[in-house]
Chains A and B, each alone.
Chain A
Amino acid sequence: MNINIKASLIHTHLKQAVRLLLITVSVLAIVSCGTRETRVEEGNRLGIFHVENSAEPQSIDPHVSTGVPENNIMVALYEGLVAKHHETLEPIPGIADRWEISEDGKTYVFHIRDNAKWSNGDPITAEDFHWSWSRALDPKMGNQYAYMLFPIKNAEPFATGKLDNFDDVGVRVISEKVLEVELENPIPYFLQLLDHHAAYAVHKDSILEFGEKTDRFSKWTRPGNMITSGAFRLKDWKIYKVLKVEKNPYYWDKESVSLNEIHFYPIENFSTAERMFRVGQVHKTFEIPLNKVDVYRQESPEKFRNAPYIGTYYYQFNLSRPPFDNIKVRQALSLAIDRDTINQSVMYGIVEPAYSLTPPGAAGYQPPKLIEFNPEKAKKLLAEAGYPNGEGFPDVELLYNTNESHRKLAVAVQQMWNKHLGINVQLLNQEWKVYIASRNNLDYDIARAGWIGDVVDPINFLDLGLSSNGNNRSAYDNPEYDKMILETIPQSQTHEERLANFAKAEEMILTDLPFVPIYTYKTKYLLDPSVKGLSPNFLDHYGYKHVTLGN
């Protein structure tokens, strides 16, 4: 046989193999296609809400957990003594159906509803809250959110180990269903704090069954072990895959709950999440990738939700380093930032330009708008500071954590400062943990930062400027400002007076400008139109209880 003929025989074999491969692929493809219903359609039929939740929850123990994805799950599993209205966020009855507040605003008496039950049918008692708060505040617990309970009398000394006996903390069991709480000072937002996960009651018996009271590594949060108090209970948890909760048959208000299950998918990659949404694998995404904003706006605006959110994106100066110790330099740099342009061309118009540190509207507070874009004034101030047209301005760096939208924004600001002030700022990006360390150690010149409120109250933003606040990270230290926040505001007699004092504090900090507000956050996610009742609100707090699915 001639070699060529033999070779062609081999080719035939190979061709057959290739053909076989192609056939296999096509068969697989045909088998897997057809008119199968999407997961979202199936969810609508079965009452299962499919939620893309960005990250694997680190823990769903309310005294261990810290992040937003975890919180999104815990609000389904737990209910506070007091809950939040799903639209207005006003305090509404939760586990407690009523409460009395003393004249001086320091003593609260909560009445736990008779039919409040754990997800295994045990009644929820005042003792449950007493025990849970002693756990939440236990110094051995390492609870990063213990401070949410610090308004309670002696809670802080107990949590920091200065006081040993929990009996001295202002929480008392009056009877099986009555709990009395005594505060250090009257604070107007105390009821809001009771809906924070640090204040949730946890089920004592199941925790002690699987470990110590303060054991972070316990298995009590596993499916089958975990007992909770909310509208849903844990059904299944496959790490990095899905966490499922189901309707709690013992929940006091189970008649109002329409969903049978919620499935949370941990997906870090926003683009993957968007593709899953597009083909009907999830009802809701955690966030929309910026480059998809225009597509959804034009083609299906009804799926894109963009609502006010209580958070501020800002740049902070390191006041311990020249030239930022000079107030005129800080003011000049702020005046040269065109926030409207940033919103429109960098952020695709999905944020609000910020003219104050506190997002407008928190607890009825409208902050003074002292921030402006005025390049002429900026130039003048910089000249007065000793750098006419930017001459002699030292080499400084603008620090941000590695992220495409932070980078784009930094480039835009860099160009604005160059154009309007003639100064050159270098950009410096660092990986998240390195960036946090640089800011904690005041090892930066200018840094990007963001702050999201825990409660709807301006104090949550204004106390960032306290010299004693670990989150200040700018070396800003103004005794007058500290006095305003620590003394004047807490002593306000009326709501109006309190708001007026906030405005004064805001004016002080926007004049000193350790922080330069850039934009106010808005929620930006995709939501399938079949989901009804997931009301947008300031804290992006999800009232799953009110969600219904269907067309």
Chain B
Amino acid sequence: MLRFILSRLLQAIPVLLVVITVTFFLVRFAPGGPFDGERKVDPSVLKALEAQYNLDQPLMSQYFSFLGDLVQGDLGPSFKYPGRSVNELIGAGFPITAELGIYAILVALLIGAIAGVFSALKPNSARDYISMSTAMIGICMPAFLLGPLLILIFGIWLEWLPVSGWGDLPGDKILPSVTLGAVYAAYVARLSRGGMLEVLSQDYIRTARAKGLPEHVVILKHGLRAGMLPVVAYLGPAFAGILSGSFVIESVFQIQGLGRFYVLAAFNRDYTLIMGCTVFLATLIIVFNLLSDVLSAYLNPRLRSQLGGK
């Protein structure tokens, strides 16, 4: 198991390097620079600005000095927000995005797993069809539609919950978490239904029942563990998707998270912030995929033995 983790971590280095290199050069070659605006910047001012950000150096030397700083954990100053370092911006935005992501995953798991198991117990019944078509709607409904819809109902008509913010007013974390979680809940529901259906037809479930175990023990203890495997495998990519895809939610609900920094950085051609967010998110995605693989292996004895663990 340790060898597996180590080798995956080693594989991650070239992947990261490719991501960094491609992003670095693509961003530099995109038309328009960080200082372009409606008002044309005077050439002498532009020269001074470029000197302050080392943009007057040759591209390759900028690239290597970026890599050098990166190794030391320094992502540089932001172009758009002078006086703020990229480390500081990521430090401010990430905890909020992560918190939002965790709540969203919890919402997704809670609603998704219940609906999925519920369906799997009585396949092809009315309740199966209803919960699965709801899941399908959830998958198809984009967050930029669901968010405003929930705001309209719970924020404006019923006046139960705040329409924006994060940690400002009581209850303002509910709508964003539910909105972001909804899409993933739908996937989780379909995956757990599939997983449970397969597991419930297995011999060991029949054995468990034959032993006379109460049905809830059979389902919750024996069935669920194997039935949730596809969901666990999906969690890594889902969490990565939530982190990098929370921009829409963060914008609709006015949340000061990393997703918003990232997308606005691209619009602003904030080179250092784009690079910083990319490196950070790429690392995170690699780590989460690895974690989800490890967790799957832990839950699945067959895989575990393949990997040479105990």
Contact = CB atoms under 8 A, between A and B. Distances in A.
Contacts of A28: 171, 174
A437 B32 CA distance: 5
A281 B162 contact: yes
Nearest to A11: B121
A314 to B, nearest CB: 12
Contacts of B252: 269, 272
8 contacts: A1-B215, A3-B215, A144-B39, A238-B256, A240-B256, A269-B251, A278-B163, A432-B267
A31 to B, nearest CB: 7
Given A10-B219, A281-B165, A471-B40, 12 more contacts: A3-B209, A6-B218, A33-B159, A58-B82, A140-B51, A142-B46, A143-B45, A219-B83, A276-B163, A279-B156, A434-B32, A437-B32
B162 A268 contact: no
A450 B171 CA distance: 41
A275 B80 contact: no
A275 B155 contact: yes
B264 to A, nearest CB: 7
A32 B171 CA distance: 6
B48 interface: yes
Interface string A52-86: 00001011010010100000000000000000000
B83 A221 contact: yes
Interface of A: 1, 3, 5-7, 9-11, 13-14, 17-18, 21, 28-29, 31-33, 39, 56, 58-59, 61, 64, 66, 139-144, 146-147, 159-161, 216-219, 221-222, 238-241, 265, 267-269, 271-272, 275-276, 278-279, 281, 431-438, 440, 450-451, 470-471, 473
A29 B92 contact: no
A473 B45 CA distance: 18
Nearest to B219: A10
Given A268-B251, A434-B31, A440 B36 contact: yes
Given A32-B160, A238-B256, A240-B93, A216 B83 contact: yes
Contacts of A146: 42, 45
Interface stretch (B110-118, B134-142, B236-244, B298-306): B110-118
B260 to A, nearest CB: 7
B81 interface: yes
A240 B257 CA distance: 8
Contacts of B161: 29, 32
B216 A9 contact: yes
A451 B51 CA distance: 29
Nearest to B256: A240
B117 A14 contact: yes
A33 B159 CA distance: 7
Nearest to B110: A21
Given A14-B117, A144-B41, A31 B170 contact: yes
A218 B52 CA distance: 12
Interface of B: 30-33, 35-42, 44-46, 48-49, 51-52, 77, 80-85, 89, 92-93, 110-111, 114, 117-118, 121-122, 148, 151, 154-156, 158-165, 168-171, 174, 209, 214-216, 218-220, 251-254, 256, 260-261, 264, 267-269
Given A7-B121, A239-B92, A473 B40 contact: yes
Contacts of A140: 48, 51-52
B49 A217 contact: no
Nearest to B122: A7
Contacts of A269: 251-252, 254
Contacts, number: 185
Contact of A144 (B45, B117, B214, B218): B45
Nearest to A279: B163
B40 A17 contact: no
Contacts of B261: 240
Contacts of B251: 268-269, 272
A218 B83 contact: yes
A434 B37 CA distance: 10
A239 B84 contact: yes
A217 B114 contact: no
B37 A436 contact: yes
B159 A31 contact: no
B163 A275 contact: yes
B80 A433 contact: no
B48 A139 contact: yes
Contact of B92 (A139, A240, A435): A240
Chain B CB within 10 Å — which of A18, A238, A275 has the most? A275
Contacts of B122: 7
A435 B261 CA distance: 22
Given A9-B215, A437-B32, A272 B254 contact: yes
B37 A470 contact: no
A515 B117 CA distance: 65
Contacts of A3: 209, 215
B209 A281 contact: no
Contacts of B82: 58-59, 61, 64, 216-217
